[in-house]
Amino acid sequence: MSATPSPPLLAVSMGDPCGIGPEIIAIAIEAGLPARCVVIGDVGVMRRAVEQACLVLPLAQLDTPEEARDAAPRCLPVWQPDGLPAALAALPMGRVSADAGRAAVACIEAGARLALERRVSALVTAPIHKQALAAGGSPFPGHTEMLQALAATGGALPEVRMMLANDELRVVLVTIHVGLRQAIDLLTTERIAQTIRIAHHAAQRWGQPAPRIAVAGLNPHAGEGGLFGDEEARVIAPAIARVRGEGIDASGPYAPDTVFMRARHAPGHPGEFDLVVAMTHDHGLIPVKYLGVERGVNVTLGLPFVRTSPDHGTAFDIAGSGRADAASLRAAIEMALHLATQSA
């Protein structure tokens, strides 16, 4: 008789303690989740979040992350890693703080270690504030670059890409947190081809053996035959040809102002594509976020573990008011569970 595998345990990092991350975590757990989760964060901050959200939710302080498997239902299981700054719960809500940035980094690092050691099945990260990261001394502009560095082996960084997804649209980005001028300079045939490969292999792990990938152009009307720019002919089309030669179903480059409508899966409108590869951050993320941030999930492709996140920020303007919406975090947890189960 083979042993019954343990159900997935997901790690959830608390995000910036001065933002809505701790609050939406508490709200989501109080409402009930489809997976066991361990919150990696400061116990005092999470207690404050429960109070701010006006919840009746007991908190369990854990000695090890694995103890979350035995936590009572509707209980907030918190594992506090070493190295957190003191008195985090006394920080003012909605303000940039170096200590908050350092705490967010410590929780992300602890969660990544758990995922790399296979002690958890996936990592879900609550929102962080980029200014707080910088104030705390982090050299990374966001989660994606930080997790890429943490997953490095032998000094080699894994090739990672950012995907934003909801139930209607999935978009993978060639470039992310850089200025637009720099992003255009980063567009090479191999970088675009590698992005398509990463998207293709990720979709295969999720149960799509032959995903249809649309590649968006960079310029208006995908360059209009060179009238509005030559990147489509010079670097994007050769990348598509290269991966098609490898058996990947990629096509384009398509006009970026219409390809997302064509790819969108909606009632009465089956999408023509399963994924869209977009050249720059805003090109790709605006369409997904327009459909509703409460349903969007950020997924990091190319890591040796599953990582998801809500597609919104720290919402400093409402932090601590009890008005935060946990829908996107819940969607991120559901997506992490699905991907972890499919990849197991």
Model confidence at 14, pLDDT cuts 50, 70, 90, reads very high
Work out the average pLDDT over 251-261.
95
Work out the average pLDDT over 284-290.
90
Nearest Cα residue to 305 out of 164, 163, 194, 158: 158
CB-count burial class (<10 Å; 0-12, 13-18, 19+) for 101: buried
**What's phi and psi for 188, nearest 5 deg?**
-115, 160
Q: What's residue 57's pLDDT? A: 94
> Does residue 205 surpass a pLDDT of 50?
yes
Measured distance CA(181)–CA(141) in Å, rounded: 17
Which residue do the tokens 């637009």 mark? 180
> Is residue 200 within 8 Å of 248, Cβ to Cβ?
yes
Most confident of 69-73, 144-148, 167-171, 189-193: 189-193
Amino acid (1-letter code) at residue 295: R
Q: What's residue 293's pLDDT? A: 67
Question: Strand order in 213-216's β-sheet?
Answer: 59-62, 76-79, 36-40, 9-13, 122-125, 306-310, 297-301, 161-165, 170-173, 275-278, 213-216, 250-254
Q: What are 336's two structure tokens? A: 């992490």
Measured distance CA(177)–CA(314) in Å, rounded: 17
pTM of the model: 0.89
Q: What's residue 296's pLDDT? A: 84
Work out the average pLDDT over 5-25.
94
Lowest-confidence region among 211-215, 222-226, 310-314: 222-226
More confident call, 49 vs 227:
49
**What's phi and psi for 69, nearest 5 deg?**
-60, -30
What structural domains does the chain harbor? 1-159+303-344 (3.40.718.10), 167-291 (3.40.718.10)
Residue 91 is classified by DSSP as S
Work out the average pLDDT over 263-279.
93
Q: What's residue 251's pLDDT? A: 98
CA distances (Å), origin 202, targets 11, 242, 267, 302: 21, 18, 25, 8
> Does residue 133 surpass a pLDDT of 70?
yes
> Does residue 16 surpass a pLDDT of 50?
yes
Give the rounded percent of residues in the chain with a pLDDT score beyond 90: 80
Q: What's residue 1's pLDDT? A: 43
> Is residue 256 within 8 Å of 229, Cβ to Cβ?
no
Work out the average pLDDT over 90-109.
97
CB-based contacts of 181, cutoff 8 Å, min separation 6: none
Lowest-confidence region among 99-103, 286-290, 297-301: 286-290
Q: What's residue 5's pLDDT? A: 61
> Does residue 19 surpass a pLDDT of 70?
yes
Q: What's residue 344's pLDDT? A: 63
Instruction: Express each pLDDT in 166-200 by its tens digit.
Output: 889 999 999 988 899 999 999 999 999 999 999 99
Work out the average pLDDT over 212-233.
91
The average confidence (pLDDT) of the chain is 93
Where are the strands (E) in the chain, listed by range? 9-13, 36-40, 59-62, 76-79, 122-125, 161-165, 170-173, 213-216, 250-254, 275-278, 297-301, 306-310
Measured distance CA(196)–CA(186) in Å, rounded: 15
H/E run at residue 147: helix 143-150
Measured distance CA(11)–CA(31) in Å, rounded: 17
**Do strands 213-216 and 275-278 pair parallel, antiparallel, or not at all (unpaired)?**
parallel
Give the rounded percent of residues in the chain with a pLDDT score beyond 70: 98
Q: What's residue 223's pLDDT? A: 77
Beta partners for residue 251, in sequence order: 214
Work out the average pLDDT over 90-95.
97
> Is residue 226 within 8 Å of 258, Cβ to Cβ?
no
